[in-house]
Amino acid sequence: MMKHLKSIFTLFIICAIVSVALAAVNGITAPIILERQNQAAAGALLEVMPDGGTFEAVDLSTYELPASVKEAHKASNGGFVIQVEWAGFNPGNVSMIGVSADGKITGTKTITVKDSGGNGKDSATEIPNMDANGHYVGADATTIDGVDTIGGVTVSTKAYRAAVKDALNAAIILGGGNVDLRDPAEILNANLNAALGTEGVEFDKHFVIEVLEGVDAIYVAKNGAGYVVVIGEEFIGLDADGNVLNGTNEVAANAIATIKATVVTDIDMSAYDFSKRVKSVQVTDAGVYILETEGSGFGKKGDTHSGATGEYLRIRIAIAADGTILDCRTVYLNESSYNGGKYGDVAANEEFYGQFAGKDQSNYENIVISGATFTTDGYHGAIKNAYKAIALINEGGAN
């Protein structure tokens, strides 16, 4: 019995002494290890904000921030380093964005890239390259939307730009500023309603079939309450009869008057030898042609590759007498079945086809969406068909 007790006692003493020794060494090394870990963490932060000084984590729970914002550190120089998680082709991309106290990007670093191949380019190399080259450095809230994306990996780089913008907005909010985080469409709708003195009314963008000098866009209230003319940053409301609601504005009043006066005549399709891709042609009293034409992208007939049902993509386009494109809309786009719908979705975006407005026959082909080359070809084909039809009419090529 004594022997057992002695064994247990000895083992216990050894354990106790070892534990005390460990605790003592830990007492010395723990602060050093902690300090080193903090430095390492700060190192990553300093990479995107070289003059950040020291950093302190910010508790985000009391702020309303873009959903992509995951973490934030406040630098001693007043700037913020924001960690965002974003989805391009794949979710789970993580980037750190440095934003200075005056709202400028000081640096970006993408820690995890889940996106991969595009059109011969790889997001996994292109995005870190953007970071290394300081692609976003110096951008602020007003210029961020204009920063270039990279062709071939447009989807990824666009998503990345949106994430950088989220970080910028988050930094402004954390710095005590105000940012409208609403969806751009929501902001626009609010502005339109405010101009008209209404609430919750929905608007259609007017399809431009008139040459309207000095007007950026016209919106028509769906319930017939009136019009809103956008000139620069200004939203001018007009009633259904075209009278300006608050004060006077010649440009807006003239624009609505022009719209109201426009007379559209159908052209007899059988009178000309149109391509079968031309679906309808109209002309206004001002000589503007309005056409519906088709083009073939992925969704061309018999293309089993896309799994498409055999419809062509169809656009509605208005072309002035001098050949300038006034407006271009997508009537339908049958491409979304390919590749998870991403190319089609991007091409169907007004941001893409809206760019054709203001172009003419010589330069409409410059509008390209990389990563959706076939779809772009489809649009170009449809526009070409429209120009051909107009040429046919101008030649007076009646049967």
Q: Which residues bind other proteins (CB under 8 A)?
A: 3-4, 6-8, 10-11, 14-15, 18-19, 21-22, 25-26, 28-30, 32-33, 36, 40
Q: Considering beta carbons, is residue 42 or 331 the nearer one to other proteins? A: 42
| Residue 16 near residue 67 (C-beta atoms within 8 A) | no
Two structure tokens written together for 297: 């992208």
Please say which residue, 22 or 261, places its beta carbon nearer to other proteins: 22
30 vs 257 by CB, closer to other proteins: 30
- Smallest separation (angstroms) from other proteins to the CB of 151: 25
Rg (CA), the chain: 30
Contact in structure between 388 and 275 (CB atoms under 8 Å): yes
As measured in angstroms, the least distance from the Cβ of 98 to other proteins is 24
Identify the CA nearest to 72 among candidates 82, 86, 63, 59. 82
- Are the C-beta atoms of 308 and 338 separated by less than 8 Å? yes
CB of 393 to other proteins, least distance (A): 53
Closer CB to other proteins, 26 or 54, in the complex: 26
The answer to whether 112 and 119 are in contact (CB under 8 A) is: no
Instruction: Give least dist CB 26 to other proteins, A.
Output: 5
Tokens of 52: 């950040």
Nearer to other proteins, 3 or 276 (CB): 3
**Smaller CB separation from other proteins, 342 or 384:** 342
CB nearer other proteins, residue 8 or residue 271: 8
CB of 16 to other proteins, least distance (A): 10
Listed residue (65, 75, 38, 163) closest to 112, CA to CA:
163
Least separation in angstroms between residue 28's CB and other proteins is 8
Closest distance to other proteins from the beta carbon of 243 (Å):
59
Q: Write down the least CB distance from residue 12 to other proteins, Å.
A: 10
| 16 vs 187, beta carbon nearer other proteins | 16
CA distance 97 to 86: 12
**Toward other proteins, which CB reaches closer, 26 or 363?**
26
Task: Find the shortest distance in angstroms from Cβ 5 to other proteins.
Answer: 10
CB of residue 17 to other proteins, shortest distance in Å? 8
Q: How far is the CB of 22 from other proteins (least distance, A)?
A: 6
Closest to other proteins by CB, 87 vs 137, is 87
Q: What is the 3-state secondary structure (H, E, C) of the chain?
A: CHHHHHHHHHHHHHHHHHHHHHHHHHHHHHHHHHHHHHHHHHHHHHHHCCCCCCEEECCHHHCCCCCCEEEEEEECCCCEEEEEEECCCCCCEEEEEEECCCCCEEEEEEEECCCCECCCCEHHHHHHHHHHCCCCCCCCCCCHHHCCCCCCCHHHHHHHHHHHHHHHHHHHHHCCCCCCCCCHHHHHHHHHHHHHCCCCCCEEECCCCCCCCCCCEEEEECCCCEEEEEECCEEEEEECCCCECCCCCHHHHHHHHHHHHCCEEECCHHHECCCCCEEEEEEECCCCEEEEEEECCCCCCCCHHHCCCCCCEEEEEEECCCCCEEEEEEEECCCCCHHHHHHHHHHHCHHHHHHHCCCCCCCHHHCCCCCCHHHHHHHHHHHHHHHHHHHHHHCCCEC
User: For residues 26 and 394, which CB has a smaller minimum distance to other proteins in the complex?
Assistant: 26
